[in-house]
Amino acid sequence: MAVDEIEEPLTAEGVPEMARIKSLWREFLDKVNAKNRALHGVLKDTHPKSCETGTLVLACLGPFHREQVEKPENKKLIEALLEETTGLKLNLVPVLAEEKKTGIVSPPGGGVLKPMGRAKTDLREMGKQEPFVEAVVKLFNGKVVDVKRTRPNNGS
């Protein structure tokens, strides 16, 4: 007698829907990657936080991640792929993951990221000098918060 796969039920906070979502999360991410690689990159830094009455709360690493998930086209794709993967029709609510009150965040690989502080150079001027950076900032509706050069800028 051969058995292809045995799936044991997982418990996630006593909510069977949440257990199902968590157990299929990797498969869901693979489906997102096949449709939208950029969105997949964003969702790798998120995780299902809670699920109640057809609403899935998704904890996002930072404001950028939440903004990307909130975009109507992304939210629609995520909800459709979640339903396809889990069989559950869910309304997605992205929230920011909780951070320590110190303002210092530990990145996944260890170490410490310091809170954003003052910039030593005129970042707007830097954007004008670097057209690629300016284009990326506009594309993601972002802002430059720090500049680190790998090669010295010799006035050129």
Burial of 56 (0-12, 13-18, 19+ CB in 10 A): buried
Per residue in 15-66, pLDDT (tens digit) is 788 999 999 999 999 999 999 999 999 999 999 999 988 899 999 999 999 9
Predicted pLDDT of residue 124: 62
- Looking at the chain, the domain(s) classified CATH 3.30.300.180 span 16-96
Predicted pLDDT of residue 3: 43
CA distances, 135 to each of 79, 126, 143 (Å): 30, 12, 11
For residue 104, the tally of other CB atoms under 10 A from its CB is 11
CA distances, 15 to each of 27, 104, 145 (Å): 20, 32, 41
For residue 18, the tally of other CB atoms under 10 A from its CB is 20
**Angle at which helices 16-23 and 72-86 pack, to 10 degrees?**
100
Predicted pLDDT of residue 76: 96
Per residue in 92-140, pLDDT (tens digit) is 999 998 754 344 444 444 444 444 544 445 666 666 666 777 777 777 7
CATH numeric code, 16-96? 3.30.300.180
Q: Helices in the chain by DSSP H: which ranges? A: 16-23, 25-35, 37-43, 63-70, 72-86, 123-129, 131-139
Residue type, 84: E
Mean pLDDT, rounded, for 144-155: 62
Per residue in 60-89, pLDDT (tens digit) is 999 999 999 999 999 999 999 999 999 999
Radius of gyration of the chain (CA): 20
